[in-house]
Amino acid sequence: MPSCEGMLGFGDRVKTVKEKRALYIGRFQPYHKGHHAVIREIASEVDEIIICIGSAQRSHEIENPFTAGERYLMISKSLRAEGINNFYIVPILDVNWNAVWVSHVESLIPPVQVVYTNNPLTERLFKERGYEVRTPMLFNRKSFSGSEVRRRMLCGENWEELVPPAVVEVIREISGVERLRELAKSDKAE
Amino acid sequence: MPSCEGMLGFGDRVKTVKEKRALYIGRFQPYHKGHHAVIREIASEVDEIIICIGSAQRSHEIENPFTAGERYLMISKSLRAEGINNFYIVPILDVNWNAVWVSHVESLIPPVQVVYTNNPLTERLFKERGYEVRTPMLFNRKSFSGSEVRRRMLCGENWEELVPPAVVEVIREISGVERLRELAKSDKAE
Amino acid sequence: MPSCEGMLGFGDRVKTVKEKRALYIGRFQPYHKGHHAVIREIASEVDEIIICIGSAQRSHEIENPFTAGERYLMISKSLRAEGINNFYIVPILDVNWNAVWVSHVESLIPPVQVVYTNNPLTERLFKERGYEVRTPMLFNRKSFSGSEVRRRMLCGENWEELVPPAVVEVIREISGVERLRELAKSDKAE
Amino acid sequence: MPSCEGMLGFGDRVKTVKEKRALYIGRFQPYHKGHHAVIREIASEVDEIIICIGSAQRSHEIENPFTAGERYLMISKSLRAEGINNFYIVPILDVNWNAVWVSHVESLIPPVQVVYTNNPLTERLFKERGYEVRTPMLFNRKSFSGSEVRRRMLCGENWEELVPPAVVEVIREISGVERLRELAKSDKAE
Amino acid sequence: MPSCEGMLGFGDRVKTVKEKRALYIGRFQPYHKGHHAVIREIASEVDEIIICIGSAQRSHEIENPFTAGERYLMISKSLRAEGINNFYIVPILDVNWNAVWVSHVESLIPPVQVVYTNNPLTERLFKERGYEVRTPMLFNRKSFSGSEVRRRMLCGENWEELVPPAVVEVIREISGVERLRELAKSDKAE
Amino acid sequence: MPSCEGMLGFGDRVKTVKEKRALYIGRFQPYHKGHHAVIREIASEVDEIIICIGSAQRSHEIENPFTAGERYLMISKSLRAEGINNFYIVPILDVNWNAVWVSHVESLIPPVQVVYTNNPLTERLFKERGYEVRTPMLFNRKSFSGSEVRRRMLCGENWEELVPPAVVEVIREISGVERLRELAKSDKAE
C-alpha cells in the first residue's frame, strides 16, 4: 500500500524524505516567547525544522512593523543562543491566491512530513493537500501574542518580558519601538 | 452615421459581431437561485451568454470560500441540468486597477453587445467604455444572496433551498460547509 | 488501497469526479485542423473536455498574434459548427513559476482524470503531480502547426486550408492577417 | 567628511545634483487648495519640484475616484494657470512592499535633496533611507482635505470652493461627481 | 455626426480635450538627437506633448542601461536647454499584456489626439483603439539610434556627437559608460 | 568619520552589525564543487554566510531544472556533511526591476558587510548601493559550472564528479536527470 508520503511533496521529490522534517509557519511580528517555546520543543523531536516567515514582504505597518530580514535575525539569534542549530528559516511572500499557496511553499522548501500552525487558513490549506497538520498548545496565550507585544510597545509598557533576550537586542538596535510609534501617528493631511 | 458598436470592442474585432451575445459578471460565492433565474432569462433572449467568474483567484476565505474551478462546476451543472447550452464561463482574475479592468475582460472573451451586472463599480466601468449596461431585477433579494447562503452554512440553517440542486451536490462533495466552518475558527495565536 | 485519484485534484474536491473529464492545453495561435482533429476525437470519448487557452495574456506578437478572446471564438465556433457541445474553454495566464503552474490550472477548472498535451513541459509538470498524461498523435504535423499557419499568412500563401472554416471567418473579420503583417515590420528607429 | 548626499540617491547618480530639487508625494484625490498652497511655496524655494501621484493605479473607488491621468491634468492645469513651470509630475504605482518602496520611487525620478509629505509611513520610509523629510504645515486642514472634498461631492454641498478653478473644470468635464455618486450606490445583489 | 474623439480616451474624460495634445512613446536608451529633432518639431505644433518613457522598470541591462529617473533627466534637461516647456514626461512600466497596454497608458496620462511612434507594435495597438498614429521621419536613422549610441559607448568611439549636450552631462555624472562596460563583462561563472 | 557601514543596510538596522556576515548569491542549477569550494572558504572567514538562491521561482527549464526547495536541500546537505553550520539559505525571487533588486534582497536578509558574486549585474548593482563586492577565484572554471553539469546530464556523461556527494544523492532521489531529459524533448506540435 502506498504510504501517505505520496501526497506530501512535489512530484518525485518526496522520495528523498529520510530525515524527519517539520514545518512551522508564522508571521513573527515580532518573535515572542510563545513561538520560542513551541519551536524549541519541535526542534527536539525532529531532525530539522523549517521555519517559514509568512507575509515576508510586509513591514513598516502597525500590524507588521518588522522586515523579513529583521525577523530572520530575531529567530536565528534566539535559537542559536540556546545551542539549537537544526533549523532553517525561509521567507515566504504572500501570493493572495489561497488555492496555489501550498504549492508556492512546497517549491521553496525541502519536503516535510508534518506542519505546525495556529492559523486556521494555513491549517485548512495544508490539510486539503493531504498533510498532517498540528496546532501547538500555546501557554499563556493572552500575553504571548504578537499583538500584545506591539500594544505594549506603543503604550510604553514592559514588552521585553514577552520576548527572548536576543529579540530585545535586535529591536533596540533597529529602533523598532520608535518606528512603531511613528507609524502610529495619524495621517496629518492627504 | 457610425453605429455605437464602434466603441464596444477591441479594435477591428467588433466587426465579427453577428450573434447576439450578453455578458454577466458575478462572484458566485456560491451560485444561487437568484443568479440562476436571471441567467436563464438572459440565455433565452440572446444567442450566447458569457458568464464571467469574478475574483477567480480568491478562495478559502469566509467571503469567498470556493475556488474558480468549483464555481465553474456549480454553474455549468446547474445550467446543463436545465438543458441550457448556449453559455460560456470565463474565470477573471482581479487586476486591482479599475481603469484597465474592462480592457482585461475584453481581451479574454468574445465581443458582447450588452452587460448585465448588479455591482455598481462594474456598471460604471463598462458604461464609461460605452457599453449598454443593465441591472437585472432580483426577486427576493434578501434571501437569494451569497452572504445569506454563507451565513446559513455557518449557522447550520437551511442553505440548500437557496441554491439549485446541482450546487448542493457540488458543495457536499467538496465538503464545502466544513471548509467554511474551519476558516471561521478564530486564529488561535500568531 | 487508495486509488490514484487521490493525487489528482485539490483536496477533497476530487471526490466529485463522476463524469469523465479530459484536459487539453494549447496556445492555439491560431486554432488549426491538427488541434481540431484531436479535440473532436477526445470529445467523443469523454463526458466533457476542458480546453485551456495557454498564454492567454499574449497577443499582438509575431508568435502570438491573437487575443484569448479571439482564440476563444475560433475554438467555440469550430466545435459548435460540428454539433459538439460537451466542451469548456478556460483562458490561463502564464505564471512564470513552473512549480506552481499545475496548482494554478487546478484552481480554475473542474477536476479532470487525464491530460492531453504535446508540450514537453506541460507533460512533465502534470506527470510530477501524479496525472495521467497522453500526447496525441498529430497527423501531418509539419503542415498542421501554428507556426506554419503564421508563416503562410506572412508570405501570402494558402493558410486557409490549414484551419477550420470558422477560423477563416474569425481571422478575416478581425483583419488578423493585416495585424500580423504590421507587427512584422521592422522597428523603424528606437 | 563625506556629505549626507551619499545616501540620498541611487549609486553614482547622486553626483548629478546641482539643481535643488524637492519631492512632494500625495494621492491628490482630488488636488485641493491645501496641496496647492504648499506646492506653490515649495516651487518658489527650489529649482524643481517633483510631484509624485501616489496610488496611481487606483481610480473609480469612493476613496480614490480619479485616474492618475485625471489627477495629472488637475495638477498641471492648476500650476500652469499661475505661471508655475518648474515642476514634474510622476505617477507612482503601489508596490505593497514598504521596504522596497523608496527604491522604486528613486528609480523613476531625478535625484532630490528633500522630501515633503504629510503621510507618516512615507515620512518614516524616506527617513530610514537617510533623506531629510519635512511635513508641511497645512492651513485649515479640516476643510482642505481630500476626504472633505469627496464628502461634499456626495452630499451636494459646495466642494468647488476647496479646489483651484482648474480642478473644478476638469472634474466637470469628466462628470466626476456623477461617477462618485454612482460608485457610492450600495451593491444591489451579489 | 459624432466626432472621432469619442473613441480616443477613457469614458467621459475625452470631453475635456481643448488643448491639442500629442503623445510620443519611446524607450530613450539613451535620449539622442533623433528623438530630440522629432520632439522639438512636435512640440512646436501642439499645445502640449506627453513623452512616455517606455519599459520604465528596465535598467542596468546592455540594451537598457539607464533607469527611468536618469532618462527623465536627459529629456527634461535637453528640452529646457532649448526653452521648451510645453511637455510632460510619464514613466510607463511594461505590463506584458499587449491587449490592455493602451488602457494602461490612457489611465496614466491626460487625453491626447494623436500618437507618434516608430515602434510597429505601439503603432498597431493604438490604431486598433481608434487613435490617429503617425510615424515620424527620422533623419540619418542609422546613426541616430539607441543601439548605435550604446555600441559606440562600448567600443570607445564618439557617442557624444549623437546626443544633445545635456545627455552627455547626465551620462558622465552617473558614470554611465562605465556601467555599460561592466554589464558587458561576460559572466565569470554561475 | 562615519564608517562605510552606514550605506550597507536598510535604515537604522545596520547598527546591529556585530557579527561579520557575508552574502553569496548564485542560482545553483545545480550546486557544484566550484560553489562548494568558495563557500567553504568564505564560511571559515566570517561569523555567518548568507547564501541567496537567485531566480528561486524558476524550475523545470533546461537552464533551470531544479526548484528552490531542491537547491536548498543540495546546499544544506553538502555543507552539513562537512560540519559547517554557520550558514543561512534564503530563496530570492526575480523582480525584473534591477534598480530595486538590492532593496528587495536587503529586506529579506540580515545585514551583511561584503558580497561575493561572479555575476557582473549583481556585482554592479551592489556596488552602486555602496557595498564591497568580491568576485571569488573559481578553480577549473570550465568544468565546475552549472551549464557543464547540465550538459553532461543530457549527454549521459559523468556529471557526478562535478558535484558534492550529497548533490548526487538529492538529484537521484528526485529523478533529476530524467526530468532534464524530458524537458529537452522538442515540442511535438503546438
pLDDT in tens, C131-171: 999 988 766 677 889 999 999 999 999 999 999 999 999 99
The pLDDT > 70 percentage for chain E reads 86
Task: Find residue E133's DSSP bridge partners.
Answer: E115
What pLDDT sits at residue E157? 97
Q: pLDDT per residue over B78-102, tens digit each? A: 999 999 999 999 999 999 999 999 9
User: Would you state the cell numbers that stand for residue C129, as one nine-digit string?
Assistant: 503531480
CB-CB: which of A15, A109, A173 is closest to F173? A15
CB contact (8 A) between residue E107 and residue D57: yes
Residue with grid cell 464596444, as numbered in its chain: B8
- pLDDT-based confidence at D172, cuts 50/70/90? very high
| SS3 of E83-129 | CCCCEEEEECCCCCCHHHHHHHHHHHCCCCCEEECCCHHHHHHHHHC
Whether the per-residue pLDDT at C12 is higher than 60: the answer is no
Of B70, B72, B110, the CB nearest to C72: B110
For residues A149-163, average pLDDT: 97
**Residue B88 φ/ψ, nearest 5 degrees:** -125, 150
- pLDDT of B31 > 70? The answer is yes
C-alpha grid cell, residue C140: 501531418
Mean pLDDT is lowest, of D93-97, E43-47, F6-10, for F6-10
Task: Assign B40 a pLDDT band (cuts: 50, 70, 90).
Answer: very high
* E80-89, F43-52, F133-142: range with lowest mean pLDDT: F133-142
Answer whether residue D18 shows pLDDT above 90: no
**C17: closest CA of chain E, how far (Å):** 35
Is the pLDDT at D39 greater than 80? The verdict is: yes
Better pLDDT: D115 or C140: D115
Write out the DSSP string of C115-156. Answer: EE-S-HHHHHHHHHTT-EEE----TTTTTSSHHHHHHHHHHT
CB-nearest to F189 from C97, C98, C141 is: C141
pLDDT the model gives residue E74: 98
Q: Are C104 and A100 inside 8 Å of each other by CB?
A: yes
How far is it, in rounded angstroms, from Cα B20 to Cα B48?
Answer: 7
Q: What's the pLDDT at D7? A: 32
Out of E58, E60, E189, whose CB is closest to F124?
A: E60
Q: Compute how many other C-beta atoms are within 10 angstroms of the C-beta atom of residue B182.
A: 16
Give the residue, C10 or D163, on which the prediction is more confident: D163
Burial class (CB in 10 A: 0-12, 13-18, 19+), D45: exposed
Residue E102 Cα to chain centre, angstroms: 15
Strands E87-91 and E48-53: parallel
Rounded average pLDDT over D108-130: 94
> What confidence score (pLDDT) does residue F93 get?
94
Mean pLDDT of F77-100: 94
Mean pLDDT of A3-11: 33
pLDDT in tens, E32-87: 999 999 999 999 999 999 999 999 999 999 999 999 999 999 999 999 999 999 99
Q: Is the pTM of this model over 0.95?
A: no
B176-184 vs B165-173: helix axis angle to the nearest 10? 60
Query: How far from each other are the two terminal CA atoms of chain B, in whole angstroms?
Result: 64
Q: Report the pLDDT value the prediction gives residue F118, as an integer from 0 to 100.
A: 86
pLDDT at B14 over 80: no
State the Cα–Cα distance between residues C107 and C101, nearest whole angstrom.
Answer: 10
Residue A11 has pLDDT above 80, yes or no: no
> Cβ separation of C97 and F57 shorter than 8 Å?
yes
The percentage of residues in chain D with a pLDDT greater than 90, rounded to a whole number, is 79
The pairing of beta strand F48-53 with beta strand E114-116: unpaired
pLDDT digits (tens, 9 = 90+) for C48-90: 999 999 999 999 999 999 999 999 999 999 999 999 999 999 9
Does pLDDT of E117 surpass 70? yes
Give the 3-state secondary structure of residue A87: strand
pLDDT band at F18 (very low <50, low <70, confident <90, very high): low
Q: Note the pLDDT of residue E58.
A: 97
Tell which of A103, A124, A129 to mutate to test the B interface (max B CBs under 10 Å): A124
Averaged over D14-19, what is the pLDDT?
A: 52
The reported pLDDT for the residue numbered D187 is 52
Say yes or no to pLDDT of B25 above 90: yes
Got the DSSP string for A129-164? TT-EEE----TTTTTSSHHHHHHHHHHT---GGGS-
Give me the amino acid identity at F10: F
Res C188: pLDDT: 46
> Could you read off the pLDDT of B102-117 as tens digits, one per residue?
999 999 999 999 999 9
Residue (of A86, A85, A72) closest to A31 by Cα position: A72
pLDDT at D164 over 50: yes
The pLDDT of residue E188 is above 90: no
Q: Is the Cβ of D1 closer than 8 Å to some Cβ of chain F?
A: yes
Query: Look-up: residue for cell 538529484?
Result: F171
Q: Residues 51 to 70 of A: which have CB under 8 A from any D CB?
A: 57-61, 67
Residue A30 pLDDT > 90? yes
* pLDDT score recorded for residue F131: 96
Cell of D108: 523613476
**What confidence score (pLDDT) does residue E185 get?**
86
Query: What is the arithmetic mean of pLDDT over E5-19?
Result: 42
| Cβ-contact B180, B150 below 8 angstroms | yes
Residues paired with residue C25 on neighbouring β-strands, in sequence order: C52
CA distances from D83 to D78, D80, D87, D166, E75 (A): 9, 5, 11, 13, 22
Residue C11 has, within 13 A of its CA and on its CB side, a CA count of 25
Please tell me the number of Cα atoms within 13 Å of A25 on its side-chain side. Answer: 26
CB contact under 8 A, B123 and D182: yes
Measured between CA atoms, how close is B48 to chain E, in angstroms?
23
Specify whether the backbone of F57 is left (phi greater than 0), alpha (psi in -120 to 50) or beta: alpha
Residues A64-105 pLDDT 10s: 999 999 999 999 999 999 999 999 999 999 999 999 999 999
Query: CA–CA distance from F110 to each of B186, C38, C168, F47 (Å)?
Result: 33, 54, 59, 13
pLDDT at C21: 94
In Å, how far from its chain's centre is CA E121?
14
Cα(C100)–Cα(A99) distance, integer angstroms: 10
Burial of D135 (0-12, 13-18, 19+ CB in 10 A): middle
Q: Does C142 touch chain F (CB under 8 A)?
A: no
pLDDT digits (tens, 9 = 90+) for D55-75: 999 999 999 999 999 999 999
Percent over 70 (pLDDT), chain B: 86
Percent residues over pLDDT 70 in chain A: 86
Cβ under 8 Å to F: E residues 151-180: 179
Please tell me the least confidently modeled range out of A142-151, C168-177, F153-162. A142-151
Q: Is the ipTM of this complex over 0.95?
A: no
Residues of D in contact with B26 (CB under 8 A): 190
Closest CA to C28 of C183, C186, C185, C166: C166
Average pLDDT estimate for E155-178: 97
| Four-residue CA torsion sign, F68, F73, F76, F82 | negative
Query: Closest residue of C to E29, CA-based?
Result: C190
- The Cα–Cα gap between C122 and C108 comes to 16
pLDDT higher than 70, residue F59:
yes
Chain D, nearest residue to A55 by Cα: D97
Taking alpha carbons only, the member of F146, F145, F105 closest to residue F125 is F105
**Cβ count within 10 A of residue E104:** 19
Distance from the F162 Cα atom to the nearest Cα atom in chain A, whole angstroms: 21
- Cβ–Cβ below 8 Å for B69 and C110: yes
- Strand order through the sheet with D132-134: D87-91, D48-53, D21-26, D114-116, D132-134
Of B11-25, E168-182, F36-50, the one with minimum mean pLDDT is B11-25
Distance (Å, whole) CA A80 – CA A76? 6
Cell 524607450 belongs to which residue? E27
DSSP for residue C24 = E
Q: Which of F98, F120, F138 sits opposite E59 (nearest CB)?
A: F98
Residue among E68, E91, E174 whose CB faces D12 most closely: E174
- The minimum CA-CA distance between C106 and chain B, rounded to whole Å, is 7
Q: What is the pLDDT of residue B136?
A: 87
